[in-house]
Amino acid sequence: MISLSDDQIRWLRMRAQRLIPQSIDTASTPAQLVRELGGIQAQDILAAKLALRPRGSRLTIADVERALTEERSFVRTWGPRGTLHLLATKDLGWLLPLMGPVSVAATRRRRAELRLDEERCTRGITALRELLAGQGPLIKAEIVEQLESRGIHTEGQATIHLLMRAALEGVLCLGPERGAKATYVLLDDWASLGPSLMLEEAYAKLAYRYLEAYGPATPEDMATWSGLPMSPIRAAWRAIANQLLEVQTANKPAWMLKAHAARLDEVPTFSSTTHLLPAFDIYLLGYKKRELILPPHYAKHINAGGGMLKPVLLAEGRVLGTWKNARKKNHVEVIVEPFEHLTPQIHAELEADAASLGRFLGIQATVNIM
């Protein structure tokens, strides 16, 4: 069995994540990246758009917005772990039946706390179908008004949980932004979904896709990333066993795709791998543990509370700080708070990546290191 050092694991994972120069295809479209990466976390829609920037060197935010709202090659909806993601439209036909029922079951207790029993959910989703068919796209406030006029409970978080359940059942998704507000549309009206799959086949396909974007990894890592139960994940691992290569890490075995085996012969180099990753970047969310990426004594610095993860400075495969941006009159200021002293090479690469961020946004960017 091939034994991997920590640096090799970080490098291979960054390669799978399209975060090193060798892995960036300058011809990649936003739709290709969303599909190949298994989705992009999208609680914060701007952060989701920014997540594609370091993985597609020639992309602009206009390219991403066009793919989302005009081409509709991916949609914003609830997916892995029952959280908002950008997901490839052609994959929704098999992804939603795979993930939806698990997430609906996992949130049953919370719906009960919100007085959303099955009868109220059924009435609410029926109402959502009717009002979006006739009036969509609608923002949340408009939906609340319409639901209340029909006598449907909308207090507290009831509306968002009703919308989430409807999305997980394939009824709706998020549509075009109206200013800074999200809208909701009927999924069938908004996009043409791809084909469905038998459940076992869908699990096997997802396992392959996961390793394509996150390997080397383990079944436990996939369970953390997806929110799906371990038993069918282990079965999926076995179903694609002839396509997997087992490797040894410092603590336990992990797996990667045999299709990526040639990467083991490449010499890891972390040149030009400094990135300003946005909040909730998938590089931090794809594994059960983050020690290889984020030293434990720095973990608290990226946690903004309530499950919110700050934007991070990534260098040599590790999180070395956090950052935020401040919009000025004619440029955007990137304010970086490193955890430790940055080497001259990392500093130079940070300046280059900030310039890339500015190009993506269509405005000049400058760096201020605190």
Rounded Cα–Cα distance for residues 315 and 322 (Å): 12
Q: Is 359 helix (H, G, I), strand (E, B) or coil?
A: helix
What pLDDT is stored for residue 339 in this prediction? 94
Q: Evaluate if residue 231 carries a pLDDT over 90.
A: yes
Mean pLDDT score of the chain, rounded to an integer? 94
Q: Single out the residue of 254, 240, 247, 176 nearest to residue 204, CA to CA.
A: 240
Q: Contact 365/355 with Cβ under 8 angstroms? A: yes
Render pLDDT for 264-317 as a digit per residue (tens, 0 to 9). Answer: 998 888 888 999 999 999 999 999 999 999 988 898 889 877 678 899 999 989
Measure CA 97 to chain center.
Answer: 19
Q: DSSP of 148-164, one letter per residue?
A: HHTT----TTHHHHHHH
Least-confidence region, from 54-58, 121-125, 221-225: 54-58
Render pLDDT for 338-364 as a digit per residue (tens, 0 to 9). Answer: 999 999 999 999 999 999 999 999 999
Domains (ranges, CATH) in the chain?
Answer: 2-25+197-265 (1.10.10), 42-190 (no CATH), 275-369 (no CATH)
Rounded Cα–Cα distance for residues 167 and 177 (Å): 17
Q: pTM for the whole thing?
A: 0.95
Which residues 6+ apart lie within 8 Å of 265 measured at CB?
A: none
Render pLDDT for 65-90 as a digit per residue (tens, 0 to 9). Answer: 999 999 999 999 999 999 999 999 99
Q: What is the CA radius of gyration of the chain?
A: 21
With cut-offs at 50, 70 and 90, classify the pLDDT of residue 23. confident
What pLDDT is stored for residue 134 in this prediction? 87
Rounded Cα–Cα distance for residues 370 and 367 (Å): 10
Tokens, residue 343 = 């080497």
Render pLDDT for 162-211 as a digit per residue (tens, 0 to 9). Answer: 999 999 999 999 999 999 899 999 999 999 999 999 999 999 999 999 99
Tokens, residue 232 = 């069918």
With cut-offs at 50, 70 and 90, classify the pLDDT of residue 328. confident
Tokens, residue 162 = 């009703």
What pLDDT is stored for residue 24 in this prediction? 76
